[in-house]
Amino acid sequence: MSRPTISGRALCARLAPLAIGSLAALFPISPAQGASLLETAPAPFGSLARARLSRLSFRHVRADLDVLEGHSATVAGALLPARAGNLVELQRRFGRRGWRTLARTFTGRHGRFRLLYAPRRLSGLHLRLLYPGDASAGATSRRLGLLSVFRLAGASWYGGGGSLACGGWLSSATLGVANKTLPCGTLVTLRYGGHSIRVPVVDRGPYVPGREFDLTEATKQALGFEGVGEVWSSR
């Protein structure tokens, strides 16, 4: 009668728990320490444990993170290798409290996903993508950067010379804006026509109804601002 045969891989899989159990009998180690030994053991034990989980990664990610209030930020991409039904979460960072989920979706047949999130306030949010993992693949994440929310604000520009209400002198090279209420030195991010600039409040004004900012000549040129109209403002 021939003896039953067993492959080397199957034998290692059967002996691994016995090996850890023997170590636990000889030495006072916890279950967690035993699992750690299995993970760090040389092949074949370590390779067998790691082979159970595949590794996925976020690819072709496109994130529109500069949005106007009332509109949604959009994040799209693919989680590869492709498989339908993988959970993808959009999360924001809460300082030392960790991350909180803002939106979630599932990948399609080619691993693609699309997430929408409509922020409720004018503030910067640090975002990331998360795949929490499952029985066949480990967790993975990808940082996206800062979500910036803007509002529409009426603006004009002014030039010439003279003193500034916040100190110093106005010249054609002065970067900044005039505003009636924001404290001097407050940094304001402005966007116009695809251009963006972050400048301080350097003066007071404008005093024309419907206008919130007067851009200095240098700020106007950096933005490609046409003279009078609306800009996106972070404040």
pLDDT string in tens for the chain (235-residue length): 555 555 555 544 555 555 545 545 545 555 455 445 444 545 454 444 444 567 899 999 999 988 898 899 999 999 999 999 999 999 999 877 899 999 999 999 899 999 999 987 766 789 999 999 998 899 999 999 999 889 999 999 999 889 999 999 999 999 999 999 999 999 999 999 889 999 999 999 999 999 999 999 999 999 999 889 999 998 8
* H/E run at residue 223: helix 217-223
> What is the count of structural domains for the chain?
3
- 116 and 174 housed in the same domain: no
- 97 and 143 housed in the same domain: yes
Sequence-separated (6 or more) residues with CB below 8 Å from residue 170: 159, 160, 161, 162, 163, 164, 202, 203, 216
2 belongs to a structural domain: no
- 45 and 101 housed in the same domain: no
The CATH number of whichever domain residue 192 belongs to comes to 2.40.40.10
Exposed/middle/buried for 93, CB within 10 Å: 0-12, 13-18, 19+? Answer: middle
Give CA separation, 195 vs 37, 60, 106, 154, in Å.
55, 24, 34, 17
Residue with tokens 């940082």: 143
Two tokens at 230? 């609306």
1 belongs to a structural domain: no
197 belongs to a structural domain: yes
- 179 and 117 housed in the same domain: no
Is residue 74 within 8 A of residue 157, CB to CB? The reply is no
- 33 and 83 housed in the same domain: no
Domain around 82: 57-149
Instruction: Note if the pTM is more than 0.75.
Output: no
DSSP annotation of 122: S
23 belongs to a structural domain: yes
Among residues 205, 206, 188, the alpha carbon closest in space to that of 197 is found at: 188
- 129 and 193 housed in the same domain: no
Is residue 82 within 8 A of residue 110, CB to CB? The reply is yes
74 belongs to a structural domain: yes
CA dihedral 151, 154, 158, 164 (to 10 degrees): -60
* H/E run at residue 47: helix 45-50
185 belongs to a structural domain: yes
